[in-house]
Amino acid sequence: MPALKNPRHEAFAQAIFSGITNAKGGAHSQAEAYRRAGYHVTNGNSAKACASRLLTFANGIAERIKELQAIAAEQAVESAEKMTRELNEVLREARADKAHSAAVSAILGKAKILNIAEQHDFRSGQIDFSQASSMQDIGRKLLQSVGFREPDDVSIQAAIEANDAFIARLEVIRDRAQGLTLEHKD
């Protein structure tokens, strides 16, 4: 469905959609969306009533909002799939180069994109990093957080190295940023 023929109806649908998705500058209510579409009202209650009527009775507005939601959902899936493909490529290259830290970073990145890590119940104590008392425990828990139930010692050591490399990268980013900040202050 293309944009609605009536520009105010299209603006109203866009404002409602932006509010639903919590987009920056999105309308926080139907009444606000109604005003943003260019309609003028004397008080908030009449804006609510008019917006409700427009949403219910105007041709195509509800369908347009659903279409905008479908487009946004499709784009989100597409970008997650693209990022996963790219991380799979990085993972293959890292494994070929025996770059364990890069491989683990790619795996952890995929887990975040695909919400795999969030599927575990961290509150159950199954994977609770606060209970780790050594780097071995941290390495084991990192691997378990991406679905490696019973990591062996070699894998745990590789996870520790990956974690160390990750921390070192974060420190470099911090140092660069602080260096830039210091330069800007002069």
Domain range summary for the chain, segments of one domain joined by + = 1-97, 99-185
One digit per residue, the tens of pLDDT, for the chain of length 186 reads 688 988 999 999 888 888 877 666 667 788 888 888 888 887 767 888 888 888 888 888 989 989 988 888 877 766 777 777 787 888 888 888 888 787 787 777 777 766 665 444 443 444 666 777 788 888 888 898 888 888 999 999 999 999 888 888 888 888 888 876 555 444
Tell me the whole-structure pTM to 2 decimals.
0.42
Count the helix, strand and coil residues of the chain and give each as a percent rounded to the nearest 5.
75, 0, 25
Q: Nearest to residue 117, comparing CAs of 141, 81, 136?
A: 141
Kindly state the tokens that stand for 136. Answer: 């071995």
User: What b/e sequence results for 48-85 when a residue is b if at least 16 CB atoms lie within 10 Å of its CB, and e otherwise?
Assistant: bebbeebbeebebbeebbebbeeeeeeeeeeeeeeeee
Residue 2 φ/ψ, nearest 5 degrees? -75, 180
Q: Strand, helix or coil at 149?
A: coil
Q: Supply the pLDDT for residue 155.
A: 93
d(CA 95, CA 159): 14
Is there a contact between 94 and 103 (Cβ–Cβ < 8 Å)? Answer: yes
Q: Supply the pLDDT for residue 41.
A: 83
**Amino acid, single-letter form, for residue 83:** M
